[in-house]
């Protein structure tokens, strides 16, 4: 807007009008920056998840927790001989809580800890692992021979006098169930996706696609319920294995939840392959199947791969189905035996932990690992989809 008005023009455009337009522009700018800030909330959400979940697990990463059964007890009378920091670590309290406690309370706490020490049965006090800090990384990952076992084993048994926090059985359990789920879901969903996008008549496509996507409308609790009440018994009567609730049943139930996701994305990827390429194949004499299998699928390959990756991410993170169907936390790759996934462990055990204790932190550690893993899987899938779109930019 030119600032050079002649006298007449200035009097025509009244002061209030000009001010109104000016204010409107300011208002718009303010609203725009407000919108910008709100949009950043998505990034803030991801960041906060990382921050708050990782914060609780941090002491395990830095080695500051100590879950040893027998620690040299500090007698309440000797409270002044130790520095506050030593007492804080002995009591296992976070800094914020420690600050709020007065001396009397601290003495009461030390007394309680002395009582606890006296309560420990003798055979545990003299156990070779009694003084071991079981939250150290080497106990979380590598097998160890605990008392009462005849060889080094991977054990997750966190509620015990000597808590065992080895996370390998949980990781193996998660992978077992996920792989079975994918093994069952991928061929079926990709096959159906090829059919619906390439081989079916448009009329069939219109009805079949929403029908299959309707499967996504079943909550995972309901799938878990169905697996527990119906599938588990039926499978056992057909396959006649020993353990009714095993990784196989969980995997098949999991695949019901994965099929809609993999189908949706794979079908979109296949449908997005430009018609010109496929028509070209027809022109050269290919049959419908040949065009679909030899032209469309390789073209949409990165998209299909992204679909499988997203299915994998969903499977690793699925909670309710595995919570209802899985059982033992044994370290075995046998699919007809029990399995315990990371997600089910967190869901089942989080409610019972002492807030701030080693078990609590290990569960948050598992959550952080899970989140980190799905985050990476997602980024890889995004890059794949990006590359896929680039390929066909410009072709229609």
Binders of other proteins among residues 156 to 185 (CB under 8 A) are 157-161, 164, 169
Of 233, 269, 284, the residue nearest 388 (C-alpha): 269
Query: Nearer to other proteins by C-beta: 330 or 391?
Result: 330
CA distances in angstroms from 353 to 86, 130, 193, 319, 347, listed in the order given: 24, 21, 45, 19, 11
Query: Nearer to other proteins by C-beta: 117 or 392?
Result: 117
CA distance 173 to 251: 11
| Beta bridge partners of residue 157, listed in sequence order | 164
To other proteins, the closest distance from the beta carbon of 7 in angstroms equals 26
Q: How many residues contact other proteins, by CB under 8 A? A: 133
Q: Is 268 in the site for other proteins (CB under 8 A)?
A: no
Sequence-distant (≥ 6) Cβ neighbours of residue 169 within 8 angstroms: 154, 155, 156, 329, 330, 331, 340
To other proteins, the closest distance from the beta carbon of 52 in angstroms equals 4
Query: Nearer to other proteins by C-beta: 141 or 229?
Result: 229
Stretch that binds other proteins, among 81-89, 131-139, 217-225, 274-282 (CB under 8 A): 217-225
Instruction: Find the binder of other proteins among 170, 171, 182, 223 (CB under 8 A).
Output: 223
Q: What is the largest CA-CA distance in the chain?
A: 103
Considering only residues 321 to 350 of the shown chain, the ones binding other proteins according to CB under 8 A are 323-324, 327-331, 337-338, 340, 343, 346-350
Instruction: Find the binder of other proteins among 70, 74, 79, 93 (CB under 8 A).
Output: 93
To other proteins, the closest distance from the beta carbon of 358 in angstroms equals 10
Phi, psi for 68 (deg, rounded to 5): -60, 140
Stretch that binds other proteins, among 175-183, 206-214, 275-283, 388-396 (CB under 8 A): 206-214
Stretch that binds other proteins, among 8-16, 80-88, 132-140, 281-289 (CB under 8 A): 281-289
CA distance 33 to 17: 25
Query: Nearer to other proteins by C-beta: 6 or 217?
Result: 217
Q: Is 146 in the site for other proteins (CB under 8 A)?
A: yes
Considering only residues 30 to 69 of the shown chain, the ones binding other proteins according to CB under 8 A are 31-32, 35-36, 38-43, 45-46, 48-49, 52-53, 55-56
Stretch that binds other proteins, among 11-19, 106-114, 130-138, 276-284 (CB under 8 A): 106-114
Residue given tokens 């022109």 in the structure block: 283
Q: Is 233 in the site for other proteins (CB under 8 A)?
A: yes
Of 3, 2, 130, the residue nearest 67 (C-alpha): 130
To other proteins, the closest distance from the beta carbon of 110 in angstroms equals 9
CA distance 190 to 311: 12
Sequence-distant (≥ 6) Cβ neighbours of residue 55 within 8 angstroms: none
Asked whether the beta carbons of 306 and 262 are under 8 A apart, the reply is: no
Query: Nearer to other proteins by C-beta: 8 or 370?
Result: 370
Q: Where are the alpha helices (DSSP H) in 275-357?
A: 275-283, 288-290, 297-299, 301-317, 320-325, 342-349
To other proteins, the closest distance from the beta carbon of 41 in angstroms equals 6
């Amino acid at each position: 807007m030119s600032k050079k008005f002649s006298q007449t023009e200035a009097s025509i455009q009244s002061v209030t009008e000009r001010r109104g337009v000016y204010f409107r522009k300011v208002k718009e700018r303010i609203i725009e920056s407000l919108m910008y800030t709100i949009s950043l909330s998505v990034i803030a959400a991801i960041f906060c998840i990382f921050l708050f979940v990782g914060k609780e697990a941090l002491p395990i990463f830095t080695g500051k927790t100590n879950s040893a059964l027998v620690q040299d007890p500090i007698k309440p009378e000797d409270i002044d001989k130790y520095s506050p920091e030593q007492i804080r670590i002995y009591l296992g309290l976070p800094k914020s809580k420690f600050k709020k406690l007065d001396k009397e309370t601290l003495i009461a706490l030390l007394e309680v800890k002395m009582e606890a020490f006296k309560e420990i049965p003798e055979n545990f006090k003299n156990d070779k692992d009694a003084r071991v800090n079981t939250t150290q990384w080497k106990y979380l990952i590598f097998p160890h021979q605990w008392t009462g076992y005849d060889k080094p084993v991977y054990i997750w048994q966190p509620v015990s006098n000597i808590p065992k926090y080895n996370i390998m059985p949980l990781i193996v359990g998660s992978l077992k169930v996920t792989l079975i789920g994918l093994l069952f879901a991928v061929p079926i969903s990709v096959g159906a996706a090829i059919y619906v996008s390439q081989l079916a008549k448009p009329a069939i496509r219109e009805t079949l696609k929403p029908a299959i996507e309707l499967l996504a409308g079943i909550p995972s609790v309901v799938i878990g319920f169905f697996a527990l009440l119906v599938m588990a018994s039926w499978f056992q009567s057909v396959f006649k294995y020993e353990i009714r609730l095993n990784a196989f049943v969980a995997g098949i139930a999991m695949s019901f939840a994965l099929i809609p996701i993999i189908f949706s994305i794979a079908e979109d990827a296949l449908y997005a392959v430009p018609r010109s390429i496929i028509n070209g194949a027809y022109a050269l004499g290919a049959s419908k199947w040949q065009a679909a299998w030899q032209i469309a699928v390789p073209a949409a390959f990165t998209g299909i791969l992204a679909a499988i990756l997203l299915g994998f991410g969903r499977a690793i993170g699925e909670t309710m189905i595995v919570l209802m169907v899985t059982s033992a936390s044994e370290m075995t790759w046998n699919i007809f035996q029990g399995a315990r996934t990371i997600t089910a462990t967190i869901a089942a055990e989080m409610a019972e932990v002492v807030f701030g204790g080693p078990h609590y932190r290990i569960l948050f550690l598992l959550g952080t690992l899970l989140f980190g893993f799905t985050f990476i899987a997602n980024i890889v899938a995004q890059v794949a989809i990006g590359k896929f779109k680039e390929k066909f930019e410009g072709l229609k």
